[in-house]
Structure 1
């Protein structure tokens, strides 16, 4: 939305979207993070500490130049891609460390901490910042006398969190020790649980190749890489179009606050339906509702000018409509997310669970990234003659309906097979 406010074209915003791709492609260097380390420092801290120090120092240095970069007409994809590459590397190290940091019967809490952490960081890093960065919002809700200056600058925000990164990383380096791999393996043997074998870089890459060649993994990969095409326009462009129609981005950001309890409670409520042998049934049931919500989003954008007051503001009941729309959409999104993650956990080979899960998550993330990037890229071209957002929404919905019919057949076949067909050792 910051780019949208600076009148950056959708094509340029699509280029900016490439900075998220390292998170989808992190599997390419994950075996290096798992296999190469400096023993005196620790397997995970070898990568975690340098990555976080560079991120923290980078934010501090970037804070002095961010205003010039934001006003620059060039999309500095290379710079931001490097930042996200470091964050992806940090993510690999943290995910691996969680397995040895927590007891075997508590490893499941890692995903809970991850989900809660993402909700908190979204609120602080996006909702709170967007609100405090807006003079209009602060003049209306926080200031006694209106001012034209920004209450919180992006440069100050970056510098603060850069310092926070440096402090937190130093504390982890000095006071948190890693458990030795052998010690961890002995503990798990006592618990009579399966553990991942320690492999070198070459062995890990070979294992990945064997998993990718499994017939069922190939079919699932095609589905995961295409199933989100139907939601690309709704998920990516709707918020930008609302801002384009005059809805303040600070108000849109604050509308996410009422949804935070829903984002915490909903996964817990859905888990009772996804813990069975066929979790993807929930995924396919939520699929058509999410398509319908995309059409509802398009109608909401189309009708937005009708709600606008003469002074450019919007009535309270309009924001209530947005909240209800967002809530229904998020219900479908989280239903699909929780069910697919449960499915990954069920089909992954326990003997190589970490590698298997990383592969499936990577394919799933990539399947969400490329359609949204393409949708942003094409909207400017469609807009030359017709309203690009609406024509893209129609195309995406039609493709989504086709994929829904095909997906039901594919997932029924995958559900009714035995788990042994997902195992590497049987192929």
Structure 2
């Protein structure tokens, strides 16, 4: 009994030690900052749905779509963020304070304006679209700039062995923030859903939701301002525990010397120097090409709608799953700190491809889930929800694994530039593959339409629109999503076989191999 008690005590002490080593307080703090960063982005993604409900034209929606650009091109100003800062405040705190305070101030000062613009009939008001585009572009630029700095600060605050947790903080925090500002806001902004809550609490129903965009701006704006001031006053730039080591003290001193001697042109030249690191070139090719294995997923929701699944039901499933998917990656927290990230990535990559193949099979047996009236059974929606949950988890796991590796290899002297540079290439690969697969899908969709003088010659370019409007006239000769799913699965298998030796080689490289030689 004494031996058993002693063993339990040792296990308990080991668990406590393990928890301390994971720096959970720092992880929680960084996750909170990423949540705040994600909320303005989430609100910006909700606006197009509000505009659609007001019958805003596609051209006006196109104008607003410019708000999506800043996160994709933030590499353009990342060198500026790494070069200029207020010495007294600190290299990272300077920009985090500026971005959060300005975001909060902008939200507080424009809350009434944004609410007034959205509340009016915007169908023919280009000025309103320009106002929204300007405000949200600035907010997203500030969030993207904050992301550059927060990524670098995360690496500074977390110990070397736990640097991989940075990607977990980013993934979980941004997911929660985007959900709060996007789907969460839309749910409680809807009068119908809000009235169900009011009825439950015996409160009189109203024609408006529980929260408006004006209230959300006031609440989030206040939170951002208070947080920015608290960071300025109470949070230290570096982990004091880390600064006790000679290595970290030397790093801080070298940072100060480096930034005081570099011009802005020299800072931009760092991007070119990173590009010419030999393992980086291999890494870029792997990051761009691996996204093609996931490309067919961008067509899955389109196919679901084409086959008769209501968009509102897909949105409802997404809203229900979003909170779960935001927190689910937390189960990886211990695994990431103990496992080599590229080995972890390959495992999740395989599981992700299994999910994609499974969904292709699910689509093939799609009609088996319809009743005689063409409606889908409850089993169908349960399977769809489970698939989305599992697939979303593996998507997050692959991204977190790669982010963990990026954090480990990032040169801490220029971590803001370096981390932004590394995350740029998977995004490029995702955008190229997503566009390519939709173009290919359109190209190989062969229409089989009854000849009708009022339709003329129907091509695959106009096929989808004609089929939706005249379901009895058009059908496809074959469903192209099936061969495309097979092709990407074969591509993924070949890519995995060819890339394994390169991943093994990159994982074994010393961190010095990823560093650039800077002139003192």
Normalised-by-shorter TM-score class: 0.7 to 0.9
Q: Given the alignment of the two structures, is residue 212 of structure 1 paired with residue 275 of structure 2, yes or no?
A: yes
173, 176, 187: which is aligned to 2:244?
187
CA distance, structure 2, for counterparts of residue 72 and residue 89 of structure 1: 33
What are the within-5 Å matches in structure 2 for residues 350-389 of structure 1? 355-372=417-434, 383-385=464-466
Which protein is bigger by CA-based radius of gyration? 2
CA distance, structure 1, for counterparts of residue 56 and residue 373 of structure 2: 26
Per the alignment, residue 70 of structure 2 pairs with: 22
Q: Given the alignment of the two structures, is residue 415 of structure 1 paired with residue 512 of structure 2, yes or no?
A: no
Structure 2: 5+ residue stretches without partners: 1-45, 443-460, 469-474
* TM-score normalised to structure 1 length: 0.76
Structure 1 range deviating more: 118-127 or 332-341: 118-127
CA distance, structure 2, for counterparts of residue 294 and residue 15 of structure 1: 34
CA distance, structure 2, for counterparts of residue 308 and residue 54 of structure 1: 57
**Bigger RCO of structures 1 and 2 (CA < 8 A, at least 6 apart):** 1
CA distance, structure 1, for counterparts of residue 228 and residue 273 of structure 2: 37
Per the alignment, residue 137 of structure 1 pairs with: 193
- Structure 1 contact 24–362 (Cα < 8 Å) conserved: yes
Structure 1 range deviating more: 387-396 or 101-110: 387-396
Structure 1 range deviating more: 108-117 or 325-334: 108-117
What are the within-5 Å matches in structure 2 for residues 249-288 of structure 1? 249-250=315-316, 252-265=318-331, 267-268=332-333, 271=336, 274-275=339-340, 278-288=343-353
Q: Given the alignment of the two structures, is residue 65 of structure 1 paired with residue 153 of structure 2, yes or no?
A: no
CA distance, structure 1, for counterparts of residue 156 and residue 515 of structure 2: 23
SS in 2 for 1:228: helix
CA distance, structure 2, for counterparts of residue 118 and residue 401 of structure 1: 29
CA distance, structure 1, for counterparts of residue 322 and residue 76 of structure 2: 34
* TM-score normalised to structure 2 length: 0.64
Closer, same or farther: CA 168–347 of 1 in aligned 2, 3 Å = closer
CA distance, structure 1, for counterparts of residue 362 and residue 115 of structure 2: 36
Task: Render the CA deviation track for 1:126-158: whole Å, top value 9, x for unaligned.
Answer: 343232122333344552465543332233222
Per the alignment, residue 98 of structure 1 pairs with: 154
Task: Render the CA deviation track for 1:104-126: whole Å, top value 9, x for unaligned.
Answer: 66655544443442343244333
CA distance, structure 2, for counterparts of residue 229 and residue 26 of structure 1: 23
- Structure 1 contact 22–81 (Cα < 8 Å) conserved: yes
The total of aligned residue pairs comes to: 421
Per the alignment, residue 3 of structure 1 pairs with: 48
Q: Given the alignment of the two structures, is residue 49 of structure 1 paired with residue 97 of structure 2, yes or no?
A: yes
Per the alignment, residue 401 of structure 2 pairs with: 339
Residue 253 of structure 1, CA deviation: 0.6
> Once superposed, what is the RMSD of the aligned Cα atoms?
4.6
